[in-house]
Amino acid sequence: MEFYLQPIELEGKLVKLVPLHKSQKVDLVFAASDGNLWKLWYTAVPSPKTIESYLENALAEQENGSALPFAVVDKKTNTVVGSTRYLNIDSNNKRVEIGATWYAKKKQRTGINTECKYLLLKHAFENLNCIAVEFRTHYHNHPSRNAILRLGAKQDGILRNHRIDARGNLRDTVVFSILNSEWKTVKTSLEFKMGINPLD
């Protein structure tokens, strides 16, 4: 059961995913300040005012076994450029969700998200033996929805009035997934996008 929760580093050509910890506080706020990402009403990105609670909540979820958070490090500059995590870990049913993902504005649409998701999916299916990996996002977060579809995930449905946000708005949550039976094809597609030729 705890196999899912072991802090681990995942490394690709562009990024390293390293365990999230409190010493990254300043770096995370600096990354989020590129584009003032916390102002996007449909996402939860840390701001200078919320970074303490953001880290406490993420690490508490790791402690209770429901999540495994990462900081995203750009290998070219060796700087933190965002965060992502495994969520809603269900070891009995071999399922995880990949979410709580955000990147500094200048790092969006650079290939970093594709590689991050590739690393997380590869670990989930090939090391954790997951039978399905979920993605969930706000109905109004169209950039996120499109990015999830580009990964090769399929939409499962929409959870209506799924949550109430900090402003009291009702959130509809769009649910996507990739199944273990689909991973081989999805992996090939992602590797093609990243310029990896498995036949080389």
Mean pLDDT for 45-69 is: 90
pLDDT at 39: 54
Burial class (CB in 10 A: 0-12, 13-18, 19+), 100: buried
Q: What secondary structure letter does DSSP report for 11?
A: E
SS3 189: helix
- For residue 151, how many C-alpha atoms fall within 13 Å in the half-sphere facing its CB? 30
Instruction: Categorize the per-residue pLDDT at 123 as very low, low, confident or very high, splitting at 50, 70 and 90.
Output: very high
- Other Cβ atoms closer than 10 A to 103: 25
> Taking all residues of the chain, what is their mean pLDDT, rounded to a whole number?
89
Q: Hey, what are 155's tokens?
A: 């939409």
Q: Hey, what are 183's tokens?
A: 């991973």
Q: How far, CA to CA in Å, does 186 sit from each of 53, 99, 121, 173?
A: 35, 18, 10, 23
pLDDT at 1: 38
d(CA 94, CA 91): 5
d(CA 185, CA 102): 26
- Residue 40 pLDDT exceeds 60: no
Mean pLDDT for 68-94 is: 94
Instruction: Categorize the per-residue pLDDT at 32 as very low, low, confident or very high, splitting at 50, 70 and 90.
Output: confident
Q: Write down the CATH superfamily of domain 2-193.
A: Gcn5-related N-acetyltransferase (GNAT) (3.40.630.30)
Mean pLDDT for 108-127 is: 92
Strand partners, 69: 85
Higher pLDDT, 165 or 189: 189
Instruction: Categorize the per-residue pLDDT at 19 as very low, low, confident or very high, splitting at 50, 70 and 90.
Output: very high
Strand partners, 158: 174
Alpha helices in 50-195 (DSSP H): 51-63, 112-126, 142-151, 183-193
Q: Hey, what are 5's tokens?
A: 């929760």
The dihedral through the CA atoms of 6, 154, 13, 36 has a sign that is: negative
